[in-house]
A and B are shown apart, each in its own frame.
Chain A
Amino acid sequence: EAGVAQSPRYKIIEKRQSVAFWCNPISGHATLYWYQQILGQGPKLLIQFQNNGVVDDSQLPKDRFSAERLKGVDSTLKIQPAKLEDSAVYLCASSRNTGTSGGRYQETQYFGPGTRLLVL
């Protein structure tokens, strides 16, 4: 089974420029997540999709970040314009499903290798 694919692996841009990251989840996984990981910290969830709908984007800085998953498979995360503090690793993860009511159904999240962004 192929894992979660992400591209590019590395990106260097100047502040106020735009950048986009792409993620292809594991085949058949309905749920897709984007995380931001700042150096020395654990990953922080930015947005969660269930198929092509947004489940949670409460931590997404919507003035500059946007994400879409138009056909319920691939996803793109965009930053426009970038700030210095956006320098981080952007991780994509996928899982088969979210938990059902009662939280009994647990699904493991599988992570891609990440895109390392440096904003100068």
Chain B
Amino acid sequence: DAKTTQPPSMDCAEGRAANLPCNHSTISGNEYVYWYRQIHSQGPQYIIHGLKNNETNEMASLIITEDRKSSTLILPHATLRDTAVYYCIVRVYNFNKFYFGSGTKLNVKP
């Protein structure tokens, strides 16, 4: 059911930018892209979402390609506490339903 494709794992050095890619080539015109993360033994935590334009908040930036078929979540200065599984989700039309894939395990290393 997942409508997104993400690499299973990535490494990032502490203090560097972490760029997490997501492919959503079948996204519809009115479907949003959401990003959540899940730190070990916790519930998923909302990070950011967007439709067409790039978005930025205090946690991250979201870059969506012009054709909307892929996006990148950017953590500008990764810390050890950013080690988590990151989920890219396409919100299903009309029902606020999220299909979670397997996500990307981000390992931030000192």
Contact A45-B97, Cβ < 8 Å, known A111-B43, A113-B42:
yes
Which residues of chain A in 32-57 are interfacial with respect to chain B, using CB atoms and an 8 Å cutoff?
Answer: 35, 40-45, 48, 55-56
Q: How far is the CA of A99 from the CA of B32 in the complex (A)?
A: 11
The 8 A CB mask of A63-83 against B (1 = contact, 0 = none) is 000000000000000000000
Contact A56 B95 (CB under 8 A): yes
Question: Does residue B91 face the partner (Cβ distance < 8 Å to A)?
Answer: yes
Contact B46 A42 (CB under 8 A): no
The residue in chain B whose Cβ has the minimal distance to the Cβ of A108 is B46
Residues of A within 8 A of B98 (CB): 43, 45, 109
Residues of A within 8 A of B2 (CB): 42
Q: How far is the CA of A97 from the CA of B98 in the complex (A)?
A: 14
Residue from B2, B44, B93, B99 having most chain A Cβ neighbours under 10 A: B44
Contact B87 A99 (CB under 8 A): no
CB distance from A53 to the nearest CB of B (A): 13
Contact B32 A106 (CB under 8 A): yes
Contact A111 B100 (CB under 8 A): no
Number of A-B residue pairs having CB atoms within 8 Å of each other in the complex: 70
Which residues of chain A in 98-120 are interfacial with respect to chain B, using CB atoms and an 8 Å cutoff?
Answer: 98-99, 101-104, 106-114, 116
Question: Does residue B30 face the partner (Cβ distance < 8 Å to A)?
Answer: yes
The residue in chain A whose Cβ has the minimal distance to the Cβ of B45 is A111
Residues of A within 8 A of B31 (CB): 103
The residue in chain B whose Cβ has the minimal distance to the Cβ of A44 is B100
The residue in chain B whose Cβ has the minimal distance to the Cβ of A43 is B100
Q: Which residues of A contact B (CB under 8 A)?
A: 4, 31, 35, 40-45, 48, 55-56, 91, 93, 95, 97-99, 101-104, 106-114, 116
